Amino acid sequence: MDMNDLLKLLKDQHQLLQAFHDTIVLQQKVIINNDVKGLEETIKTEGALLINIELYEKHVEEAIKQLSNRYGIKNSSGKLSEFVDAIKVRKEINSMNLLKLRNSLQKIVANTIRVNNQNKMLIDQARYFIKETISALVSKNHTSILDRKV
């Protein structure tokens, strides 16, 4: 295992994360458009991508542990950020590509978390609306479902 192998693993993981991000952006669109079939498809795609992302995460962790041992770096956790920080201070190892890739991974993960939180809010709003609509329909007070004060 060498640095180029780690970079290839990270690039592949980056592509998977980008595909996952694109899937949840699509998921947001199908939620807004009330496309149940599209939502089912995006959930299936999301699940498959998550399995592959976890697999790559394990491979990256193993590669980091091996490279840490090779370069004499104390990094028992196998975390990329700790490895990059330890590699940065060593002048004999070119860490520029690794640093750029780590920063790109962090950005895509942050964007994915942001979109995922937006999706959660959309789903919560839809659930609340459905609950209120059902409550209004079964209510004995015969209250209007629509607000007619327009």
Q: Which SS3 state, helix, strand or coil, does residue 17 take? A: helix
Cα separation, 88 vs 84, whole angstroms: 6
Q: What is the pLDDT of residue 148?
A: 53
Provide the CB-side half-sphere exposure for 89 (13 A, CA): 7
Print pLDDT tens along the chain (150 aa). 788 899 999 999 999 999 999 999 999 999 999 899 999 999 999 999 999 999 999 999 999 989 888 888 887 677 888 888 888 777 767 788 888 999 999 999 999 999 999 999 999 998 998 888 888 778 777 666 565 554
Residues 116 and 28 sit within 8 Å (Cβ to Cβ) = no
Domains and CATH numbers, the chain: 3-138 (1.20.58)
Judge contact between 87 and 25, C-beta under 8 A. no
- Contact between 52 and 17 under an 8 Å Cβ cutoff? The reply is no
pLDDT at 149: 55
Phi, psi of 76 (to 5 degrees): -75, -20
Helix then strand then coil, % of the chain, to nearest 5: 80, 0, 20
pLDDT score of 84 = 85
User: CA nearest 85: which of 102, 109, 72?
Assistant: 102
